Amino acid sequence: MPTPDFPPNTLDSEGEPRWIAELASADPNHALHVVRGLEPAAALAALGANPQRVRPVELPDGKPDDQTSLPGAALEIGPGSGATLLAGRIGDWTFVYDDGGYTYDEENTAVLSAGGRSAATSMFSINADASLTYAVDGEQLAWVNVDDLDLEEDLPEMPAELRAAFEAAGTIELDYLEPGEADYSIAMRAVCALAGLTCTIDDIRRIPLLAVEFG
């Protein structure tokens, strides 16, 4: 596996996309959904958000404390008050960032992909569980548990689009890993590579954003 095919300074020292790390609270328990060909408002509705509570937001310059995410700060939602969903679109792909992981459900990825679309979801839990779900046209085609991921054996069996995303995600050299072994951020990198979200937080700030309290 090559090193990640991401622009300079878009990954942190652990290999996580910086824009996600900058959205997240400390010790995150979060999920990132991406879907091609669906508008942000429709993606939020598909995930169960109340359309009447969705509103445009601008991300603040910072967070009030380590336990509040940047989207939570935008809605003035503090820790323990449910999740905040943040949605935007770059090119053909819409993303929904869930700062509490409330919408993580393998079925939700299939729901987003209905109607001939492609969708994927990456989850990382506070217990360091990491996974990726990939679906096309309402059918789940892959579920990847990072703990069990063997890149040499598993990549050839993946759908072509997902395989290319993992190849772009690459591997990170970390002290606790053997060379070429998957790190815990590989699923987030793969989802970002799939959807062309190899961007910065400033890129995210420049696009129209929607947010909603969830849960």
Instruction: Kindly list the domain boundaries of the chain, sorted by start residue.
Output: 18-214
Are the C-beta atoms of residues 129 and 79 closer than 8 Å to each other? no
**This prediction's pTM:** 0.96
pLDDT for res 1 = 61
- Please say whether the beta carbons of 101 and 24 come within 8 A: no
Q: Which helix (H) or strand (E) holds 145?
A: strand 139-145
Q: Tell me the pLDDT tens digit for each residue of 123-169.
A: 999 888 999 999 999 999 999 999 999 999 999 999 999 999 999 99
CB neighbour list of residue 168: distance below 8 Å, 6 or more residues apart: 4, 5, 6, 189, 190, 193
At residue 174, the pLDDT reads 82
Which two three-digit tokens encode residue 4?
Answer: 């990640």
Please tell me the predicted confidence (pLDDT) of residue 7: 95
148 CB burial (10 A radius; 0-12, 13-18, 19+): exposed
Pull the structure tokens for residue 200. Answer: 């910065």
Per-residue model confidence (pLDDT) at position 177 = 74
Low-confidence stretches of the chain (pLDDT < 70) are: 1
Residue burial 116-146, b: 16+ Cβ < 10 Å; e: rest: ebbbbbbbbeeeeebbbbbbbeeeebbebeb
| Nearest-angstrom CA–CA distance, 100 and 94 | 19
